[in-house]
Each structure stands twice: as structure tokens, then as C-alpha cells.
Amino acid sequence: MNLYPVSISLSSYGATLVREQGQVPFAALLKQAGANVIEWREELFTTLEADQLRQAAEAQGLESVYSCPMELWQAGRTEPDPALVTALANAAACGSKWLKVSLGFFAPHNDFTALKQLLADQPVRLLVENDQTTQGGRIDPLARFFTRAREQKVPVGMTFDIGNWQWQDQSVFSAAVQLAQYVEYVHCKAVERTSAGKLVAIPPHPRDLELWEQLLRRMTPGVMRAAEFPLQGEDLLQVTRGHVATLAHLGQPQAGSVAHG
């Protein structure tokens, strides 16, 4: 049985703890827990200490994703958000192989030539995620964007967040059918509605793991997957190790089956 690459989004440990401790110390924890990738969270930085982040990941033999809370396309603007230049530079400075952003307000007139030029010769791979917004959390705009990107040969992949589709009442299976061919990174989180009617991320129940198994089998075998749900408890190493082991085994090919790419 294969063990597939697992990432941990540091937001999983809670904003308060991560801001108190900084993100550097989590690299050693993730390595001990068996993770392969660490996802730095820009919104949780007090200051960006790129050299320390890069060195921490390298020292533990981890690859990294740089998550930036920006939208690729702004309303009424044809060119990509100018903040993309800074985000790419920050990701590269941290030694990250991937930069994760949201789609934003994609429209037919968006300038893919400008985007392609920005991404040319970049050491960082751009990944666009389905977020929880109306503009960036629905299947159709994302499908149109990735279709255009492929036609224009723009080097971009998708972060498929399993839980986020619920914020816009989208079918996760329909999303997988239409978007699996573009997916290079999967954010795993279960979702429940609180008594106040608010959707929140939670650790997976067995039924969630069954769902994730089915979804991952529709994607490229061994696609990188991340925990993005609360990792909490007295022993964070034990908690993290358990979820890493679970995620690493998901999506194994079934005997006699043909992988969906």
C-alpha cells in the first residue's frame, strides 16, 4: 500500500496558538508526525521571516505551500491583482514550491496573457482554490477559469477544498467530476452547522473519510492532500500523527479499477 504525501495547514492549530508560537516551531512537529509538507499561512504572520521559514522547512526535509488570502481577479479589473507579484516573491523567499490563492471575480475579459507573463519562469507553482465566497466558491466560474487557463497554456493548478463547497451549497461530487483533471492539492475538512446556523470545520467522522476516499479516487493517484480542520488536544504530536496516517492512506486504487485523472 502506498503512503501518499500529506500536508498540514497551520491554521488547523488555531490562530491564537500559531500567532503566539510563530509558525517556525511547527516544522519539527509536522516532521515527527510523518507529514511531508507544511502550509504556511500568511494571515497568521505577525511579521514575515522568510529565511527562518525556509530554513525550518529545509532542516526537517519538508516541502511547503505558501497560502495567501488574496483573490486572483478583482471586480472590474482585467489584469490579475497586482498583489500577486508580492505573493509570488514571498512564496519563493520562503522556499515554497506552491502559492495558494483564491479565484476572486473571474470574468470572460480577464487578461490571461498578463497572468501567463507574471508566471513565466517562476520557481513557484500557482494553485487556485475554491473558497467560501459567492465569486470563488462555485463550480461554474472555476471550471471556466481552468478551461481558459489550459487553452492559453497558463501554468496553474487547483486546490480542491472538499469542505468549502458547502458554503455555496455546491455538490462536491459535481465539483470533482468537472474539476478533478486540474487538481494538484486537496484540502480536507469536514463541516457541520452549529446551533446558531453557522458552518464550521471539524475533524472527520468515519462517513467523512468514506467521502474523501471516493473523491480522491477521482483525482490523480497520490495527489497531495492536507488537513485543514481543528488539530487540538493535550498531545498535538499524537493528534497530528493520527490524522497524517489516515490521510496518507486515502485514495488507494481499487483492484482492477481505472484511475480517474
> Residue type at 93?
A
Q: Grid coordinates representing 260?
A: 480517474
Q: Are 160 and 179 in contact (CB under 8 A)?
A: yes
Please say whether the beta carbons of 38 and 8 come within 8 A: yes
Distance CA 234, CA 9 (A): 19
- Asked if the 6-249 domain carries CATH number 3.40.50.300, the reply is no
Lookup result for grid cell 488536544: 233
With a cut of 50, which residues of the chain have pLDDT below it?
258-261
Contact 173, 142 (CB under 8 A): no
Backbone angles phi, psi at 85, to 5 degrees: -60, -45
**Domain boundaries of the chain, sorted by first residue:** 6-249
Residues linked to residue 224 through DSSP beta bridges, in sequence order: 185
Q: Which of 86, 84, 85, 29 is nearest to 57 (CA)?
A: 29
**pLDDT score for 66:** 98
Report the pLDDT value the prediction gives residue 253, as an integer from 0 to 100.
80
pLDDT recorded at residue 1: 73
What is the pLDDT, as a whole number, of residue 259? 45
Say if CB 122 and CB 92 are below 8 A apart: yes
Residue whose cell numbers read 507573463: 117
Residue 93 grid coordinates: 523567499
φ, ψ of residue 192 in degrees (nearest 5):
-135, 160
Sign of dihedral through CA atoms 172, 105, 229, 5?
positive
Three-class SS of residue 70? strand
